[in-house]
Structure 1
Amino acid sequence: MSEPTIQLYNQDSYMKTFQGTVLTCVKQTVEGQPDKPSYIVTLDVTAFFPEGGGQASDTGSINGITVTDVQEDDGIIYHTMVAPLTVGETITGEINWNRRFDFMQHHTAEHIISGFVHKYFGYDNVGFHLGSEVVTIDFNGSLTEEDIRNIELKANQAVYENIPIKVSFPNPQELKELDYRSKIELSGDIRIVTIPGCDICACCAPHVALTGEIGGIKITSFQKYKGGIRINMLCGTRALKDYNKKEKSVTDISVLLSAKPDEVQDAVKNIKNENQTLKGQLLNLQNQILVYKAAAFQTGTDSICIFDNDVAAASLRTYGNLLIEHCEGICAVFTTTDEQEYKYVLLSKTIDVRPIGKRLNESFGGKGGGSKEMVQGSVKGKKEDIEAFINNIK
């Protein structure tokens, strides 16, 4: 069995480059892509942090060759690369520093938020995902919006205080006396990350040295999740980009509405209310038009089959009820909602239309149902074929 990889990120999370030696290099092919192999490389030492603790792995390069993924198994770090290295050769590894520092900021911010939630509410962090786009924290208890905003405020106050962060490996006796957070039972050398006044937690990931380097913490959203709550969080440059994007959106909307940015919400509410009023007025006008359309049919008409794309799907039943007053047999009204897709209503005062609706659905891949007097549904097909089907029933 190989010796565990020396993990340089535990010694210095700010290490951007390092020297090492290649121990193994194994070719790996993906099923269905034999022309695109990858190579799994182990080194004697590495500064690449592997995926773990909810955090995605570092990326970067070794001897100029791209490292796409890093995993750990039983103390050995495995680097996935796009080209091979030679066993025994000396390498220079380079970390994608922008990604690493961004992850350091967010992981440290997660500790502060989780520490305060545990301190003030007693909830545990039961889930954490730190990727390049989304950062989520799951807690096993509910929080109000006021609770969350108070936690957010305290977290940012901790950032302003620029608190030094301590990383240590306590001996078993020290660990026994230490009150720290951990999601799982741990053994061996336990790495403890301490943010005085905020949190003490077992964690293997790199963190910033001072809370001020986080650069601001913003909880962007939250929702109920598995009996608890899920928080979405951003900090540093990501939080700034998110703010700029939302600021531009509000500014653009304010221009469209001719309203000040801080009055956009009221302006949208007014438009929504006006829209609802106009929809009601439009529906009334449409129904009046349907009355005139229906009146064009003489009372006692045998059967009626109409394709009218000016009739809204929501008004089909109203139109059918008006038409059936002039019809002795079957009344069928269709309106298109998409290419070769139609909403329909079938009515009759003298015939049970349920069997007809069933056959119609079977013939044209439709669905729907109703009573013996009225069936509603949708079908797919050509107008002339559907029309011929109805006419053949007559």
Structure 2
Amino acid sequence: MTEKGYYKNPYLSQWTAEIQGIIPKDDQFLLVLDKTYFYPEGGGQPSDRGTIDGIDVLDVFEKDDMVFHVVPKVPDNSKVDCKIDFNRRFEHMQQHTGEHILAATFYRLYKGVSNAFHMGEDYVSIDISLPEVTPAMVKEVEEAVNEVIYKNVPVKTYMKDLEGAKLLPLRKQPKVDEDIRVVEIEEVDFCPCCGTHVASTGEVGILKILKTEKSKGMTRIYFQCGRKALQDYGKKHEIISALFEKFSANENTLLEKIEKYMEDVKKTEALVKELRQELSICEAQKLVKDARKLVVYGNYKKKTINDIMFIAKEVFQMGDYIFIGVSLEEKKLFLSHNTDLLLHCGNLLKDVMKNYNARGGGNATQAQASFQTEEELKKCAENLRQICQGLDD
């Protein structure tokens, strides 16, 4: 059995150990040490990273009370120097202790029970058994949590048998029938936990709730602590500073200026839409005037397929036609009709485009296809044009 030093001293990051077992697995190896401070994944906390005799530790996991260290190759010596990536370890300690304070605070203030905990590279979250968490609740919880952090309350960890554990005001009841490890934050929380934690709440630094969202009848709370919270603040500060510069604003005027900008954008978009509709009507009239019998054909360098579909709609307001529209910008073709002819646009386009390295489809009245090159698009469009003109003879 491996001696689990991470429970005795989570701050120790370098030590010497003896390799007691080597298990080949796929193209990697599982090392068993006589003692380890590498924390294996568990309790929502990721495993540690680091090196064993300079060899990267890719993962650490526990099975049958044995701790296995996944490495790409076997060290040359049986006695090895181990080193933990302590920045990563300490971030995990900050996040995990912060999670205990956060969960305990939700329970104390709103009787919300923490049912899930996730600590990943991108985010940390807990699921609270409350169907709704309002901004006012978030503010109250966040202030209460950080008050605990600022008081620098001691964080204790110890083992208890089941009978002894029953005497404690545990926030969660243990799911095992053996001795349990308890994490106690004085006058704040008692909770069974196998993770690593800081020695006092002040080391958490700060806890910031980032957002909330509904999740399976509960509320998922996203948050960051300590160094991660500082990094998150730094990123957002850069964004806010850039917005200040772009809008010639400060923290008191930025939102007002953004709202004004968005109003102007909406007005501009509405005007552009109106003008595009007018241009499409004019274009439709021109195409109908130049049409060869029932076939209306439009070829455009700077119109999207959506623009072309709107032109087709206007064309059909003027009579019964077969419409072929080409968007050179998007390398797409649109085929549609509103006539009484026995014409299935999807079948026709599918039959023709197979000779031009295109993909697409449609139904009886309209279809579209995408092409690899403009040359193939133009050839396919001309082929369709000839076929459709033949239908009108």
TM-score normalised by the chain length of structure 2: 0.87
State which drifts further: 9-18 or 312-321.
312-321
Determine which of 358, 361, 370 is the counterpart of 1:367. 361
User: Secondary structure of the residue that 1:366 maps to in structure 2?
Assistant: strand
Kindly tell me: are residues 377 and 163 of structure 1, through their superposed partners in 2, closer, same or farther at Cα, counting changes over 3 Å? farther
Determine which of 7, 17, 20 is the counterpart of 1:23. 20
> What are the Cα deviations for residues 204-230 of structure 1, in whole angstroms up to 9, with x where unaligned?
111001100111011112211122121
User: Secondary structure of the residue that 2:42 maps to in structure 1?
Assistant: coil
Matched, 1:335 2:327: yes
The 5 A counterparts of 1:230-245 are: 230-245=220-235
Residue 386 (structure 1) aligns with: 381
2: distance between equivalents of 1:295 and 1:130? 61
| 1:243 positional shift | 0.6
| 1:18 positional shift | 2.4
> What are the Cα deviations for residues 243-302 of structure 1, in whole angstroms up to 9, with x where unaligned?
111111111122112222442222222222211111111122222223333333439851
CA contact (8 A) 1:59 1:96 kept: yes
User: Secondary structure of the residue that 2:144 maps to in structure 1?
Assistant: helix
Determine which of 122, 125, 138 is the counterpart of 1:133. 122
Kindly tell me: are residues 325 and 117 of structure 1, through their superposed partners in 2, closer, same or farther at Cα, counting changes over 3 Å? closer
State which drifts further: 194-203 or 285-294.
285-294
Matched, 1:124 2:113: yes
Residue 33 (structure 1) aligns with: none
Aligned residues: 376
1: distance between equivalents of 2:243 and 2:140? 30
| 1:346 positional shift | 1.5
Kindly tell me: are residues 187 and 320 of structure 1, through their superposed partners in 2, closer, same or farther at Cα, counting changes over 3 Å? same
2: distance between equivalents of 1:283 and 1:376? 23
CA contact (8 A) 2:174 2:180 kept: no
CA contact (8 A) 2:46 2:120 kept: yes
Residue 206 (structure 1) aligns with: 196
Matched, 1:97 2:81: no
| 1:148 positional shift | 1.9
The 5 A counterparts of 1:215-294 are: 215-294=205-284
Opposite residue 128 of structure 1, the aligned amino acid is F
Residue 308 (structure 2) aligns with: 316
2: distance between equivalents of 1:359 and 1:137? 55
Residue 305 (structure 1) aligns with: 297
2: distance between equivalents of 1:125 and 1:210? 22
CA contact (8 A) 1:8 1:47 kept: yes
> What are the Cα deviations for residues 80-111 of structure 1, in whole angstroms up to 9, with x where unaligned?
12331368x33332221111111101100000
State which drifts further: 234-243 or 59-68.
59-68
User: Secondary structure of the residue that 1:208 maps to in structure 2?
Assistant: coil
State which drifts further: 157-166 or 265-274.
265-274
| 1:377 positional shift | 4.2
CA contact (8 A) 1:40 1:79 kept: yes
Kindly tell me: are residues 229 and 362 of structure 1, through their superposed partners in 2, closer, same or farther at Cα, counting changes over 3 Å? farther
Q: CA RMSD in A?
A: 2.4
Residue 10 (structure 2) aligns with: 13
> What are the Cα deviations for residues 159-212 of structure 1, in whole angstroms up to 9, with x where unaligned?
011001111212332212223134761232200001123221100111001100
CA contact (8 A) 2:305 2:332 kept: no
The 5 A counterparts of 1:160-175 are: 160-175=150-165
Aligned-pair identity (%): 26
State which drifts further: 58-67 or 360-369.
360-369
Residue 35 (structure 1) aligns with: none
1: distance between equivalents of 2:70 and 2:313? 68
Structure 2: runs of 5 or more not aligned: 354-358, 372-376
| 1:114 positional shift | 0.9
2: distance between equivalents of 1:311 and 1:243? 43
Determine which of 57, 60, 76 is the counterpart of 2:50. 60
State which drifts further: 205-214 or 253-262.
253-262
| 1:27 positional shift | 2.8
Structure 1: runs of 5 or more not aligned: 31-37
2: distance between equivalents of 1:25 and 1:9? 21
2: distance between equivalents of 1:97 and 1:184? 29
